[in-house]
Structure 1
């Protein structure tokens, strides 16, 4: 393992940065294709009202806010909106109050979904 990777830390860090950037681009393309496919599909008429995305048998409800812990591909802990495409797969659901507290303690807001704008607006009303 690792025979095709450079031996020095500097070049490994460059590759890590590139891979994280490319993963973000891939996730953005996946989200765009999913949106396009969803728009092309016409929903079949049903007797029951449509369920909220992320609900139903075997699927957890999409949280309103979440905390993405720092790890592989995630350089720092970030607060996200639950429906953010950049949230990663390990989003920990949190309440709006906890998300506000995390932001106040210095946790970074996601640069894509900008939860700080909405949470700050909700907190001031």
Structure 2
């Protein structure tokens, strides 16, 4: 029995210390990863909901370029969130709808 272990106490004690140190390192890593996972989950829960509608701004500060669905990935750098009624008003007053996500006045109607 136990033929694969050293025969003397000094080396067995050294192995015991070595294993204890490794177990401590493993426990610290597990604690760290659990803390990171909890922080990530907390961050996902507290992340704000994306806007329902986005208006993309043109080159001029007040020029409106296109209206996008809030999940459209084709918005430019300059954009701002707008509400449902504002998106409907913009689309009916001539601001272009994005050709990719295609928001239309009918899909912005009140429910």
Greater per-residue strand proportion: 2
Return the offset for 1:124. Answer: 6.8
State the 4+ residue runs in structure 1 displaced beyond 2 angstroms. Answer: 45-52
Root-mean-square deviation (CA), in Å? 3.1
2:95 equivalent to 1:107: yes
The residue number in structure 2 matching 1:120 is 106
Q: Choose from 71, 74, 77 the match for 1:89.
A: 77
Return the offset for 1:79. Answer: 0.2
Greater gyration radius: 2
Give the TM-score taking structure 2 as reference length: 0.51
Distance 1:122 1:92, change over 3 A: closer
Give the TM-score taking structure 1 as reference length: 0.46
Greater per-residue helix proportion: 2
Rounded to whole Å, the distance in 2 between the matches of 1:122 and 1:82 is 12
5+ residue gaps in structure 2?
Answer: 1-36
Aligned length: 72
Rounded to whole Å, the distance in 2 between the matches of 1:49 and 1:87 is 28
Give the SS at the match of 2:109: helix
The residue number in structure 2 matching 1:51 is 44
Distance 1:99 1:122, change over 3 A: closer
